[in-house]
């Protein structure tokens, strides 16, 4: 079928050979296909390149020119400066790289360079390159006098020391025609569909990216690759969803209102509009013969636990059991207490199963679950261990807080699948924008609690410089004197966990000795064993500690209503979403709460922090965070080197493309879940051939 040319090892491409093939591998390029996907990282043309003659001091400019002379100049202070005089048709300018004498070995007379940087005044005009690219090497036989014709676009590829720009450009010059000729072998979108989506064909897309005739030709090329990226990710997830929800029959829950109504009536408040809507979505899934696999996200305090309880009661009304799984013992205990409180008027028991429940008590609990006498249970991973059997489990709620990670989640669902096939509800307290949620959780249906119960007092957030620390401490002291508790949080210091630990430990000792000698302080950091961490948190929860000094390990979701103040040191080092999670630890009781961010003066950080201080809306903060930090940071563990989740797509700008790709993926799977239809052959081949790892990860391989 003509598929497979692009599998040719890069080594056998023109001008490559074994040594360059090794260097290409370091750029994650192993095949002809990888060469196609290794697209330029920047483009320049006459509209971005200035003539040397026109440069003015103060400009930030990009120029292209040939090296006329070069050398290293020592200075009296011992700094060595590499200088090169660049010439284009209009004139000459000196470029200077202070402190980079080694460039003498890289840049030669006669080289054609593209450089970008500020133009300064130093014995006349001088350009200080921030970035440079060797477009062509002196005397390189493959290049004409000017490398490329005037009026064309200059492409700069991601390059390395071993594989500099000019070598890559040569490789593309020699191979691009052949590569483009075969690019359409992987075209899976029929022309009508491409037209409807406004996307170019693959061959056209790669041509636009590698050999654009003008700068604005490249964007549609990128959009096409972004669509493909979204499509195959959504396709794998749609297949996973199909396996999880459709293949084996799920439970059809029946509602009697025997329990749901009394719970409603016993609540001292009305459900929020968002809670009511989300419950309808959940009940709809649970009553259908498809298995529910739903993701519920909502800010801290949005009322997720109550929603989970209503869902579990539907399961119990139909004679089945419900389980809620939390990531730590402490959180399990907390959920357990809350559910007990809510269920008191209904006289329904809730069991608690953690690693600490042992001996007789454990035996009895397990028997209750096995025989169905225990309708509801809250627990940790202990719930999915050997020896735990349910008589008739109808719903599993997984409270995963901020720990997203496909692998762990799939493992949990997988475990739950060993019994009958209960419905699954995953809850997260980390608000994320829809585009990110669809990318990470595309196999789940999404429910969003985007409304807080009325009457919440927002946490007041203040910004302070380090010089104002004493005043901040005075404020904290006042809260503690009123019988309240507080947190002081330190960021992770990059160098090593050890330094981080030392910093927190030293600060803890200083605070205990000099600042709050009359108070009970606790220290929490990442290197404490899990049990000790829990012991410290427990002591704080039980009021045995006044002030908790901590690195960022404070348990998300932990609820200490008496804690009314949080001080965050070096706030500029945190992402906004992380700050929001931290801030969520206060403001959980009836008292007014506040959060103080201590940050070094500095424009950018200040602006970001002001955005944060101005709102308590987690979704708004998450969108700002995505915009400011970019998506790479947010993928965390899933961004493992060779197979980044998204290379071409941008979640902040491509949200509509993502929805289109998702709709198409779901349509394909709904019509042809095995991808057997000849019209889907290309899709299946690409999937099996290029996304095998992902298929395995999502357990659809």
Q: Sketch the per residue contact string, 278 through 297, with Mg ion: x for CB under 5 A, - otherwise.
A: --------x-----------
Which of 163, 300 has the CB closer to ligand ADP?
Answer: 300
Cβ 290 to Mg ion, closest distance in Å? 6
Q: Report residue 290 as tokens.
A: 């498809």
Q: Choose between 286 and 357: whose C-beta lies nearer to Mg ion.
A: 286
Radius of gyration of the chain measured on its C-alpha atoms = 30
Whichever of 269 and 465 has its CB closer to ligand ADP, that residue is 269
CB of 223 to ligand ADP, least distance (A): 37
The rounded distance, in Å, linking the Cα atoms of 285 and 259 is 19
| Parallel/antiparallel/unpaired status of strands 125-127 and 80-87 | unpaired
- With CB under 5 to 8 Å by kind, the binding choice for 327 among Mg ion, ligand ADP, none is none
Query: DSSP state, 14?
Result: T
What is the SS3 assignment for 34-82? HHHHCCCCEEECCCCECCHHHCCCCCEEEEEEEEEEEEEEECCCCCEEE
- DSSP letter at 272? P
Choose the contact partner of 250 out of Mg ion, ligand ADP, none; CB within 5 to 8 A by kind. Answer: Mg ion
Residue 665 interacting entry, from ligand ADP, Mg ion, none, C-beta within 5 to 8 Å by type: none
Give the residues across from 445 on adjacent strands.
294
Which of the listed partners (ligand ADP, Mg ion, none) does 127 bind, with a CB threshold of 5 to 8 Å by partner kind?
A: none
Q: CB–CB of 197/189 below 8 Å?
A: yes
Phi, psi of 151 (to 5 degrees): 90, -10
Q: Does residue 250 touch Mg ion according to CB under 5 A?
A: yes
Q: How far is the CB of 394 from Mg ion (least distance, A)?
A: 9
Beta bridge partners of 607: none
Chain residues in the site for ligand ADP (CB under 6 A) = 269, 271-272, 275, 298, 300-306, 429, 453
Q: Which of 691, 606, 697 is nearest to 231 (CA)?
A: 691
Mark 544-567 as b/e (b = at least 16 C-beta within 10 Å).
Answer: ebbbbbbbbbbbbbbbbebbbbbb
Q: Which is nearer to ligand ADP, 16 or 429 (CB)?
A: 429
Shorter beta-carbon distance to Mg ion: residue 304 or 421:
421
Task: Find where tokens 């000459």 sit.
Answer: 92
To the nearest whole angstrom, how small is the minimum distance from the Cβ of residue 401 to ligand ADP?
10
Residue (212 or 557) nearer to ligand ADP, CB? 557
The answer to whether 563 and 485 are in contact (CB under 8 A) is yes
Coil, strand or helix at 316: helix
Q: How far is the CB of 287 from ligand ADP (least distance, A)?
A: 23
What is the nearest approach in angstroms of ligand ADP to the Cβ of residue 592?
17
- Tell me the closest approach of the beta carbon of residue 285 to Mg ion, in angstroms: 6
CB of 345 to ligand ADP, least distance (A): 14
CB-nearer residue toward ligand ADP: 247 or 592 = 592
Indicate which of ligand ADP, Mg ion, none lies near residue 272 (CB less than 5 to 8 Å, by partner kind).
ligand ADP
Task: Tell me, residue by residue from 193 to 232, as one string, x for binding to Mg ion by CB under 5 A and - for no binding.
Answer: ----------------------------------------
**Cβ(195)–Cβ(52) under 8 Å?**
no
Binding partner selected for residue 304 from Mg ion, ligand ADP, none, CB under the kind-specific 5 to 8 Å limit:
ligand ADP
Among Mg ion, ligand ADP, none, residue 275 binds (CB under 5-8 Å by kind): ligand ADP
User: What angle do the packed helices 329-343 and 530-541 form, to 10 degrees?
Assistant: 40
Place of tokens 């929800």: 245
């Amino acid at each position: 079928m003509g598929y497979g040319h692009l599998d040719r090892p890069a080594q056998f491409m023109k001008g490559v050979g074994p040594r360059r093939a090794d260097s290409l591998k370091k750029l994650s390029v192993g095949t002809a296909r990888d060469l196609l996907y290794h697209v330029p990282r920047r483009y320049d043309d006459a509209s971005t390149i200035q003539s040397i003659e026109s440069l003015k001091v103060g400009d930030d400019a990009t120029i292209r020119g040939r090296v006329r002379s070069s050398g290293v100049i020592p200075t009296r202070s011992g700094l060595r400066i590499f200088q090169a005089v660049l010439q284009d048709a209009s004139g000459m300018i000196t470029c200077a790289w202070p402190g980079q004498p080694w460039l003498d070995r890289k840049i030669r007379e006669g080289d054609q360079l593209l450089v970008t940087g500020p133009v300064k005044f130093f014995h006349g005009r001088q350009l200080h390159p921030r970035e440079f690219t060797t477009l062509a090497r002196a005397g390189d036989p493959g290049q004409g006098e000017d490398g490329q014709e005037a009026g064309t676009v200059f492409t700069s590829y991601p390059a390395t020391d071993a594989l500099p720009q000019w070598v890559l450009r040569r490789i593309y010059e020699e191979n691009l025609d052949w590569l483009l000729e075969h690019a359409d072998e992987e075209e899976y979108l029929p022309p009508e569909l491409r037209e409807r989506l406004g996307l170019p064909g693959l061959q056209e897309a790669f041509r636009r990216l590698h050999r654009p005739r003008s700068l604005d030709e490249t964007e549609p090329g990128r959009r096409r690759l972004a669509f493909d990226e979204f499509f195959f990710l959504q396709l794998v997830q749609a297949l996973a969803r199909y396996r999880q929800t459709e293949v084996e029959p799920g439970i059809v829950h029946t509602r009697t209102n025997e329990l749901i109504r009394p719970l409603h009536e016993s609540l001292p408040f009305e459900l929020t509009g968002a809670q009511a809507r989300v419950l309808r979505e959940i009940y709809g899934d649970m009553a259908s013969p498809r298995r529910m696999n739903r993701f519920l996200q909502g800010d801290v305090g949005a009322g997720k636990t109550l929603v989970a309880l209503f869902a579990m009661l539907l399961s119990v009304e139909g004679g089945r059991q419900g389980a809620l799984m939390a990531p730590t013992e402490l959180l399990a205990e907390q959920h357990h207490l809350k559910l007990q409180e809510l269920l008191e008027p209904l006289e329904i028991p809730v069991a608690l199963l953690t690693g600490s429940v042992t001996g007789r008590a454990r035996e009895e609990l397990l028997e209750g679950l096995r025989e169905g006498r225990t309708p509801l249970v809250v627990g940790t991973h202990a719930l999915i261990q050997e020896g735990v059997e349910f008589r008739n489990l109808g719903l599993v709620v997984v409270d995963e807080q901020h720990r997203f990670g496909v692998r762990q989640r799939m493992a949990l669902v997988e475990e739950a699948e060993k019994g009958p096939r209960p419905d699954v509800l995953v809850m997260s307290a980390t608000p994320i924008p829809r585009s990110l949620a669809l990318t990470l959780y595309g196999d789940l249906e999404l429910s969003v609690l985007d409304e807080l119960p009325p009457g919440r007092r927002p946490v007041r957030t203040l910004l302070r410089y380090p010089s104002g620390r004493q005043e901040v401490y005075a404020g904290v002291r006042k809260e503690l004197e009123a019988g309240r508790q507080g947190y002081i949080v330190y960021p992770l210091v990059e160098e090593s966990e050890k330094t981080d630990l030392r910093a927190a430990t030293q600060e803890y000792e200083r605070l205990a000795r000099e600042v709050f000698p009359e108070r009970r302080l606790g220290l929490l950091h990442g290197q404490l064993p899990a049990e000790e961490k829990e012991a410290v948190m427990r002591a704080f929860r039980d009021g045995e500690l006044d002030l908790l000094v901590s690195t960022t390990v404070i348990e998300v979701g932990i609820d200490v209503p008496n804690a009314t103040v949080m001080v965050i040191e070096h706030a500029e080092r945190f992402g906004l979403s992380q700050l929001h999670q931290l801030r969520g630890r206060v403001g959980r009781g009836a008292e007014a709460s506040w959060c103080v961010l201590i940050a070094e003066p500095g424009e950018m950080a200040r602006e970001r922090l002001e955005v944060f201080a101005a709102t308590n809306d987690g979704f708004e903060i998450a969108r700002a965070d995505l915009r400011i930090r970019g998506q790479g940071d947010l993928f965390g563990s899933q961004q493992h080197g060779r197979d980044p989740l998204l290379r071409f797509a941008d979640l902040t700008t491509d949200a509509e493309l993502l929805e289109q790709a998702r709709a198409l993926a779901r349509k394909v799977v709904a019509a042809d879940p095995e991808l057997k239809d000849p019209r889907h052959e290309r899709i299946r081949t690409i999937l099996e051939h290029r996304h095998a790892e992902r298929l395995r990860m999502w357990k659809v391989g």
